[in-house]
Amino acid sequence: MLKGKKILIGITGSIAAYKMPYLVRLLKKEGAEVTVILTPTAFDFVTPLTLSTLSENPVLSAPYKKENGEWTNHVTLGITSDLFLIAPASASTLAKLANGIADNLLITTYLAARCPVFIAPAMDVDMFRHPATQNNIDTLRQRGHLIIDPAEGDLASGLKGAGRLEEPENIFKIIQDFFLTKQNLNGKKVLVTAGSTCEPIDPVRFIGNHSSGKMGVAIAEEAASMGATVTLICGKMTNIHESKWIRVIKTETAQEMLNACLEHAPDNDVIIKAAAVADFTPQQVSSEKIKKDGNALKTIELKPTVDILAALGKQKRKDQILVGFALETENVIANATRKLHDKNLDLIVVNDATQEGAGFHCNTNIITLLFPDGTTSAFEKKPKRLVARDILSAVCAIIP
Ligand code: CTP
């Protein structure tokens, strides 16, 4: 599986660097070609001798050799690698990656990299929680990189909380799964919807919902990293940047999202509808801002919107895969099964909104996948990007 894959590993100055020789060994055993880059402070935590012995490659750190001026070609490293893993990524490296501060070989290589980048932060709990670190992580996530969230537990400082580098076996599994599923969406076109629609009441107010669009964005980014060409149709407040592989179409109302979906669906192999579409829209939109006059505003009459997913189910071709979501608070499986059949879906992703760590605004989700033949697979709580991978792996397994 990993035979011949060129994996670049960037190690930074964090105590968790001690876990990395073991990961290098796991990757080598599976046939990967591993090259390690150390930042200057990483030398205090792990030795180049250990890493060069296990990787069977010289460990890189300096931009050039002082004794003879030989240049380390970071551009070639970035271009020829199949994957760049930065682990452990310290708070300082995250800041440099987010802002392009190219003062060491790891960052210059990152800036030249054309391969997928996986970043596994590790630091003390308060450093990890700090808005500066979280903003940098958000920036890197939005750039399409996979963030391998740190695990919770005992930290080197004696404190407890999130900040432990994910265990080498789990990082190995993530890399292995990536190469296993990656090829499967090569050349495929994937349409994803995300976020909330906004139904105007008057020029300044609307009816919306709490959907941040994070789940749909994670699916779009993951599909792109698996080789697909992605179109993301999302609510206007969904946070995503257009990239070479993800075309973003922003829509406001359910009607606009419907129009965009009907236009683009025929051209796609896979359609995943993660958007939280309003079920109702005001019958009439006031052309002026509705003024308060001290009395109750008695009624805003609402009419139903078109169910976009059901409309796409009606026009679905045999060679297309249509995936819906079901957000439920009661009779979860029964309600989702009904939606799966009524809307002619190939797969439905079920969320129980009452579970902690699932649903709106979280960075995690807890899903169950439900197939038309009645089979189900339930997953534990995971970061949304890994949830996206579970969904797309299931899609790859049923794609014609
Ligand atoms: N959906 C849609 N268009 C709508 C409403 C929902 O495409 N007007 C899609 C959502 O994108 C999601 C799926 O339908 O993939 C299920 O949405 P959900 O809110 O769970 O269920 P509904 O079908 O709207 O039913 P209810 O609100 O009664 O649970």
Q: How confident is the model at residue 132 (pLDDT cuts 50, 70, 90)?
A: very high
Mean pLDDT, residues 164-171: 95
CB 189 within 8 Å of CB 268 = yes
pLDDT digits (tens, 9 = 90+) for 28-87: 999 999 999 999 999 999 999 999 999 999 999 987 777 777 777 777 787 788 899 999
Catalytic residue among 209, 259, 335, 344: 209
Give 362's contacts (C-beta < 8 A, 6+ positions apart): 214, 384
Span 247-283, pLDDT tens digits: 999 999 999 999 999 999 999 999 999 999 999 999 9
Cβ–ligand 1 distance for 279 under 6 Å, the answer yes
Q: Is pLDDT at 183 greater than 70 in this prediction?
A: no
- Measure the CA–CA gap between 130 and 141, rounded to whole angstroms: 16
Q: What is the pLDDT of residue 3?
A: 87
Could you give the 3-state DSSP secondary structure of residue 280?
strand
Please report the pLDDT score of residue 379 as a whole number.
93
- Best residue for ligand 1 mutational test, from 309, 315, 322, 350 (most atoms within 8 Å of Cβ): 309
Q: Which residue has the higher pLDDT, 73 or 149?
A: 149
Residue located nearest, by CA, to atom 28 of ligand 1: 279
Q: What's the start-to-end Cα distance of the chain, in Å?
A: 23
Compare 64 and 311 and report the one with higher pLDDT.
Answer: 311
Q: Among the listed ranges 95-99, 106-110, 157-161, which one has the minimum average pLDDT value?
A: 157-161
pLDDT in the model for residue 267: 97
Residue 193 has pLDDT above 90, yes or no: yes
Ligand 1 center–CA 280 separation, angstroms: 11
Half-sphere exposure (CA, 13 Å, Cβ side) for 304?
3
Helix (H), strand (E) at residue 97: helix 91-99
335 given a catalytic annotation: no
- Indicate if ligand 1 lies below 6 Å from the C-beta of 337: no
254 Cβ inside 6 Å of ligand 1: yes
| Cα 39 to the center of its chain, rounded Å | 26
Cβ–ligand 1 contact at 305 (below 6 Å): yes
Q: Which residues pair with 89 in a beta bridge?
A: 121
The confidence band for 181, taking pLDDT boundaries of 50, 70 and 90, is low
186 within 8 A of 124, measured Cβ to Cβ: no
Tokens found for residue 231: 């179109």
Which of 280-284, 372-376, 387-391 has the weakest average pLDDT?
A: 387-391
Q: Is the pLDDT of residue 137 over 80?
A: yes
pLDDT mean across residues, the chain: 92
Q: Decide if 234 contacts 213 (C-beta within 8 A).
A: yes
Residue of higher predicted confidence among 4 and 126 = 126
In our burial notation (b when 16+ CB lie closer than 10 A, e otherwise), range 118-139 reads: bbbbbbbbebbeeeebeebbeb
The rounded Å distance from CA 221 to ligand 1 centre is: 22
The alpha carbon of 313 and the centre of ligand 1 are apart by a number of angstroms equal to 13
pLDDT above 80 for 361: no
Closest CA to 85 of 104, 66, 61, 113: 113
Q: How confident is the model at residue 208 (pLDDT cuts 50, 70, 90)?
A: very high
The C-alpha atoms of residue 264 and residue 282 are separated, in whole angstroms, by: 26
Q: 362 in helix, strand or coil? A: coil
Among protein residues, the one with the nearest Cα to ligand 1's atom 12 is 325
DSSP string, 151-208: EEEE-TTS-EEEEEPPPHHHHHHHHHHHHHHHGGGTT-EEEEEESB--EESSSS-EE-
Q: Per-residue confidence at 24, pLDDT binned at 50, 70, 90?
A: very high
* The one-letter amino acid at 243: S
Please tell me which residue, 181 or 252, carries the higher pLDDT value.
252
- pLDDT for 99 equals 98
* pTM (two decimals): 0.67
Indicate whether 244 pLDDT > 70: no
The most distant pair of C-alpha atoms in the chain lies apart, rounded to whole Å, by 83
| Residue located nearest, by CA, to atom 14 of ligand 1 | 309
- Cα three-residue angle 176-384-361, rounded to 5 degrees: 170
